[in-house]
Copies of this chain bind each other. A is one copy, B any other.
Amino acid sequence: MSFLADGDTCRGQALDEIHAAVMARPCDGKVADYIPALASVDANRCGIAFATLDGEMHAAGDANIPFSIQSISKVFGLVLAMQRMGDDIWQRVGMEPSGQPFNSIVQLEWEHGIPRNPFINAGAILVADTLVSHFSSSRQAFLSFVRRLAGCERCDINEEVLASESRHGSRNAALAHLMKSFGNIEAEVDDVLSHYFFQCSLEMSCTELAQSLLFLANRGVHPLSAERVTTPRDAHRVNAILSTSGMYDQSGQFAFSVGLPAKSGVGGGIVAIVPGLGVISAWSPALNKHGNSTRALTMITELAGRLGLSIY
């Protein structure tokens, strides 16, 4: 693996070239339009960042522009809940891949209100319930947690997106009420959804996202602050679930073709953990039919292939 010798130079150059190549091609895909606030984002935005454990940050394109992280927030929510609840959380949410669309209600009924994993919507709503129940102000706790990880006080909610999410959240409401009917939601459904929509509305840039998740590549310790965020075991666990379930119903294909723990969001962002090395974060708003950003997917696939990053 010769790239290790002059890794930094190599990575920076790889990012630039891959970003340039992807910008030179026409962009497939379609910006998410299920809420108006997302539909208005410029489809041509495109950025990528690679933060390494030794403190380097490589970036190309719109890597410093904040975007709606959407489902990527599920990673922060889960880690915060694991910190607070320990292993008890796994009594109420599974860790198996779902084999169903991310917002399917079918499997939730079959499995009596226990979501398959914390990265489908039902699972993240369940996690939101634990946060609402364990913090006096779960929103504030969530925001402080992310800001500390990102080393950035600027990260904040987009109020327009938040209002839009709340108005178009019927399916998530259905999931929450169904779990409530099985006794697997403790707080009031309205409060749980409120937290869930709040965290989905967070905006961060590629560089902020990459930096914030470095602890997952470093056995639970954030390399910049030296804060232990999770145990080594829990860092492995989060990476394991990301590997099987982080990319909607393209998770298997992503493992197959890239081979890294990763999470995507319908805002067009993708983060990928490279254990022992760092975190890649890419963003471009147009999505493929699975809800994953076409350009972010291409850039991460090419980068992982070029640098030989697959964990398998």
Which B residues are CB-close (under 8 A) to A104? 109
24 A-B contacts (beta carbon < 8 Å): A95-B252, A97-B99, A99-B100, A99-B116, A117-B252, A170-B178, A170-B180, A170-B189, A173-B174, A174-B175, A174-B177, A177-B177, A236-B259, A236-B310, A237-B256, A237-B257, A237-B312, A240-B252, A240-B256, A240-B259, A240-B312, A244-B251, A261-B312, A275-B311
Instruction: Given the known inter-chain contacts A109-B104, A177-B173, please indicate yes or no for A240 contacting B261, CB distance below 8 A.
Output: no
For the complex formed by this chain, how many copies does it contain in all?
A: 4
Which B residues are CB-close (under 8 A) to A226? none
Question: Does A160 count as interface, using CB distance less than 8 angstroms?
Answer: no
Give the residue among A99, A107, A251, A257 with the most B Cβ atoms within 10 A: A99
Whether the pair B255, A243 counts as a contact (CB closer than 8 A) is yes
Question: Does A181 count as interface, using CB distance less than 8 angstroms?
Answer: yes
Which B residues are CB-close (under 8 A) to A177? 170-171, 173-174, 177
Whether the pair A241, B252 counts as a contact (CB closer than 8 A) is yes
Q: Roughly how many angstroms separate A267 CA and B107 CA in the complex, as a whole number?
A: 29
**Using a CB–CB distance below 8 Å, which chain A residues touch chain B?**
94-100, 104-107, 109-110, 116-117, 170-171, 173-178, 180-181, 189, 235-237, 239-241, 243-245, 249-253, 255-257, 259, 261, 275, 310-312
| Majority-rule SS of A interface residues | helix
Q: Roughly how many angstroms separate A237 CA and B257 CA in the complex, as a whole number?
A: 7
Q: Roughly how many angstroms separate A235 CA and B256 CA in the complex, as a whole number?
A: 10
Q: Roughly how many angstroms separate A180 CA and B171 CA in the complex, as a whole number?
A: 8
Instruction: Given the known inter-chain contacts A106-B109, A275-B311, A312-B240, please indicate yes or no for A97 contacting B252, CB distance below 8 A.
Output: yes
Query: Sorted from nearest, which 9 A-B pairs have the closest CB atoms?
Result: A99-B99, A97-B97, A239-B312, A170-B181, A96-B252, A174-B177, A171-B181, A174-B178, A240-B255
Q: Roughly how many angstroms separate A275 CA and B107 CA in the complex, as a whole number?
A: 34
Which B residues are CB-close (under 8 A) to A259? 236, 239-240
Q: Roughly how many angstroms separate A235 CA and B312 CA in the complex, as a whole number?
A: 8
The residue that A275 contacts in the complex, of B95, B109, B174, B312, with Cβ under 8 A, is: B312
A114 to chain B, nearest CB (A): 13
Whether the pair A96, B249 counts as a contact (CB closer than 8 A) is yes
A4 to chain B, nearest CB (A): 14
